Structure formats: structure tokens, C-alpha cells
Amino acid sequence: MLRNCARKQEQVCADVTEMKCQAVAWADCGPRFDSTGRNRCQVQYKDYAYKSCVEVDYTVPHRKQVPECKQVTKDNCVTDWEVDANGNKVWGGTEKCTPVTWEECNIVEKDVDFPTVKTECGILSHLKYADFIEGPSHSLSMRTNCQVKSSLDCRPVKTRKCATVEYHECSMKPQEDCSPVTVHIPDQEKVHQKKCLT
């Protein structure tokens, strides 16, 4: 027997139902009322002290460096000098002096009065005025609270899907196996005789 195989390929298709899903999100919101304490403006009356002022002269002691001078008298003398036998200068014992007076000054620190002006004020009257301050107040407030929610939105969808299959197809067939064979065929020699009656 002879085996004969062939490789075959075939594509088959079918309609397939699939669930196609999408994520869906939304906000679930609702109002919420709260009682809150808040500040509000309130009027408050205050007194203002109105003052009347005058200028007053006065002195301030100030430490300064100033020159301080005095008269100084000293003698201005002319001395007679003689030369001895050895050639040295020696005082002759007489001199001529005259008094000389000049002004001698030194820098010293002293307190000096510095004139200046100051303002003296006194309350003349009180003035009423309105001021605004923050005061407590209770009020109702509203706010929206939201909660995010999610879900799946699924729907059946038909799609055509195909698959390819590969296979081998085989068959077994008888095979003739021929070989030369010596066949001995019997044979006779035929003698043709004719019999005659005489």
C-alpha cells in the first residue's frame, strides 16, 4: 500500500455575539444647607478728642567743642654772650628783657544752650463719629455636594470572525509491484495425421 498525503488549508467563518462594554461616569449632586457664623459690619459710635496746640520756645543743652582763649605774658630776653680764651661762648652776666603778651587758645567741650520749639497740646472738645466694626451674625448657606458614580454600559454586538485550519489529508492506495517472472507454459507439438480407409 502506498500512503499519499496532501497539506490542505481552509478558512471557516461564523457570526459571533460579543458583549461590548463602555465605562460610564456621572456626578450625583444634591444641595446641602448649613447654618454658619459669619461677621457683618456694625455701627459703633466713638469719641474723638479734638486738641488745641500752641508752640512754646525752650532751650536744650547741647555738648559742643568750642575754643577757650586766655592772655599769656612772657619775657622776651636778649642775653649778652662773650667768647673766652678757648673760643667758647660764655654768658656775660647781663640780659635785656621786654614783656610780650599773646592770646593762647585751646579746644574744650562746653554745654551750650540750643534754642528750639515744641508743641504743647490740650483737649479742647470731644467729637462723636460713627465707625464700622465686625460683629457676629448667623446666616444660612447652601452648597452642592457631589458624589462621582460609575457603571458599565454593555451591549451585544455581532461580529464576523474567521479561523484558518491546516490539516493533512492522506490516502492509502494499492501499488503494483511488478518484476519479471519466468513462466513455463506447456506446449505440445501437433502432428497432423490423416487416416485413410482404403
pLDDT of residue 56: 92
Give the pTM.
0.27
> In whole angstroms, what is the distance from residue 198 CA to residue 188 CA?
30
pLDDT of residue 81: 74
Residues 127/46, Cβ–Cβ less than 8 Å: no
Instruction: Output the CA–CA distances (angstroms, integers) from residue 15 to 27, 44, 49, 165, in the order listed.
Output: 38, 85, 99, 17
* 178: its cell numbers: 511488478
Q: What confidence score (pLDDT) does residue 181 get? A: 78
| Half-sphere exposure in the Cβ direction for 23 (13 Å, CA) | 4
- Predicted pLDDT of residue 136: 75
If the chain, 198 residues long, is cut into consecutive pieces of 10 residues, what is the mean pLDDT of each piece? Answer: 83 90 90 76 88 90 89 82 78 76 90 89 90 78 87 90 89 76 74 57
